[in-house]
Structures are given as C-alpha cells and as structure tokens.
Amino acid sequence: MKKINIPVHFYALAAMLFWGMSFIWTTRLLAHFQPVTIIFIRLLISSAFLFILMVVSGHHERIHREDIWLFVGSAVFNPFLYFLGENFGVKFTSATVASVIIATIPVFSPVIAWFTFREKISRLNIFGIFVSFTGVAIMLGTRDLSLSGEGKGVLSLFGAVFSSLIFSVFLRKLTLRYSPLTIIAWQNIIGALLFLPVFLIFERNRLGTTHLTSDIVSSFLFLSILASSVAFVFFARTVKEIGISKANIYSNLIPVFTAVFSYLLLSEPFTIQKIAGITIVIGGVYLSERNKAERKTH
C-alpha cells in the first residue's frame, strides 16, 4: 500500500485555500480602495516579507545580468498585467465568478505550450476548454438566456488568465536557474515598481480619504503574506514533490473554497445556477488535467 505524503498534500491544500480566500480579501478591500492601490500595497508588503525571509534564512542568489530581462518580462505579465486583470475582474464581478474563471488557467496551458514549445493539444483538452466556457456562461447567464452585466469583469479576468499563461513561459526558464523564493521576491518588487507610476498618477489622491480599520489591515496582511508569498512557496514545494500535472489538479479547489467562504463571510448568494456553473467549469479543468497526467505516465 502506497504511503500518503501528508505534508505535501497539506502544502497544496493550504496554497489553494489562501488563493481561494484572496478573492474574498480583495473584495473587502475594494470597498475602500481602488484596484491599483490594493495591488501596490499588496506587493510592497509581500516583497518586504520575502526579502526579510531571505535574509533570515541566509538564502541569497545572485541574479545574472543576462537573466534580468527574464525577471522584468515575468513581472510585466505577473504580477503587473495579471493583478490588473484579476482585481478589476473582482471589482465588476463576484468573488466566486472571478475564482472560477482564474481556475481555468490549467485548461489553457497546453494552448500556450503548443505556440511556444510545439507540444500537442489533445481532443480531450479542446473538449475541456469547451466545457469550461459552458460553465462560465451558465454562471453569468440570466433566466431569459441573456448575459448578466458582468462582461467587463469577465474580459478583465480572461486577460489575467492570458497574462498568467505568458508568465508561465518566463517562469519555466527562470526555475532552471533560480529558487521559487528568489523568483517570487524579485518579480514582486519589480511589479511594485511597475505599479508605482500608475498609483501616483491615478489613485494617490484617493488614498488619504480612507481610515484604517482592523479589517483593512488584516485583509492586506493576509493577502500579501498568505496569498502572495506563502501560497506560492507552498505550491512550489508541491510541484517539486509530486509534479506539475498532479499539483495543478488541486487548483480545482480554488473556486470551491471561494464560493463557500464568500457565502459565509460576504453573504454572497449560493444559487443552484452558480453551483451548476462551478461544477461544469471544474469538470472541464479536471478533464484537461487528467489528460496531462495520463500523458505523463505513458
């Protein structure tokens, strides 16, 4: 009987829980701040936490000059473009809908792999994409079969999905030379620098009108330390232990965590239509991930 590696599964579940909860923390902060302000502060706190962790642990890696463009390129797509799409998506949709669309990232991974590395796309993966889109359409549909007024948010979220896919190309190259801690720390600080002029031009004047509360401070800390830092380290550990295909299957749990806690903490409606949409999207993601896992074993 194969021994179950409990620590690795704990890391995976914790990462998905933190990422699922990130949509709730972001929703809470959007009631007080603009999207760019949230991202900028989130990245500053995360960067400070990760660099302190590097100093305390004695983990220092020299960045080679020829790799600087890889770090900058990765930061442009994630966190800069990815977080823009995600946060504006959460602003115009619900936390649950946002998490479901973001959870389709593994479905589209083979598409970007075909364009960049000429990896084959299977019929099952194409079917998984179709199933996932059907689930999203069901979640956004109304009784008269027209779309609800969340189109702007959905487009933003799919922009985040696309940014994440391009980022994965840069990440694949960086992981060959650097540890996840180094990559995440530097991409977050570069991302913060990219957001700085946007923040100063468009949202700086609105920051002083908000009074800090314990809920705001805790949401920023949870979002920065747990979602932007710890979750990435945990997920990297999971990938190292059980591989990317099996690790990505856990992403199916992100919208489940978000839907449950949105209902409990945000009083977000948990309708039959939303449950059906979530189930179909997760099914589409599972079909694609199952296909990739099977190819890994052959």
Q: Predicted confidence band at 29 (pLDDT cuts at 50, 70, 90)?
A: very high
* pLDDT the model gives residue 260: 85
Does 227 map to a domain?
no
Does 263 map to a domain?
no
The more confident residue out of 54 and 105 is 54
Contact at 8 Å (CB) between 157 and 26? no
The more confident residue out of 215 and 97 is 215
Q: For 138-170, what is each residue's pLDDT tens digit?
A: 766 655 544 455 678 889 999 998 898 888 778
* pLDDT the model gives residue 268: 82
Q: Could you give the number of structural domains in the chain?
A: 1
* pLDDT the model gives residue 295: 52
Q: Write phi, then psi, for 138 (nearest 5 degrees).
A: -65, -40
**Which residue range(s) make up the domain with 176?**
27-211+268-297
Q: How many whole angstroms separate alpha carbon 74 and alpha carbon 64?
A: 15
Q: Predicted confidence band at 126 (pLDDT cuts at 50, 70, 90)?
A: confident
Contact at 8 Å (CB) between 71 and 187? yes
Q: How far apart are the first and last CA of the chain?
A: 22
* pLDDT the model gives residue 145: 44
Does 107 map to a domain?
yes
Does 293 map to a domain?
yes
Does 262 map to a domain?
no
* pLDDT the model gives residue 172: 73
Q: For 246-298, what is each residue's pLDDT tens digit?
A: 666 677 778 888 888 988 898 887 778 778 877 887 777 677 656 554 555 45
Q: For 39-89, what is each residue's pLDDT tens digit?
A: 999 999 999 999 999 999 888 888 999 999 999 999 999 899 999 999 999
Contact at 8 Å (CB) between 43 and 189? yes
Coil/strand/helix, residue 141: strand
Alpha-helical segments (H) within the chain: 6-30, 35-57, 68-75, 82-92, 95-102, 105-117, 123-140, 151-174, 180-202, 204-207, 214-221, 231-242, 244-249, 254-265, 272-297
Q: For 180-232, what is each residue's pLDDT tens digit?
A: 889 889 999 999 999 999 999 988 887 767 788 999 999 999 999 999 999 98
Does 219 map to a domain?
no
Return the number of other C-beta atoms located less than 10 Å from residue 205's C-beta: 9
Q: Predicted confidence band at 1 (pLDDT cuts at 50, 70, 90)?
A: very low
Q: Exposed, middle or buried by CB within 10 Å (0-12, 13-18, 19+), for 196?
A: middle
Q: How many whole angstroms separate alpha carbon 231 and alpha carbon 227?
A: 5
* pLDDT the model gives residue 35: 93
Which residue(s) pair with 147 in the sheet?
141
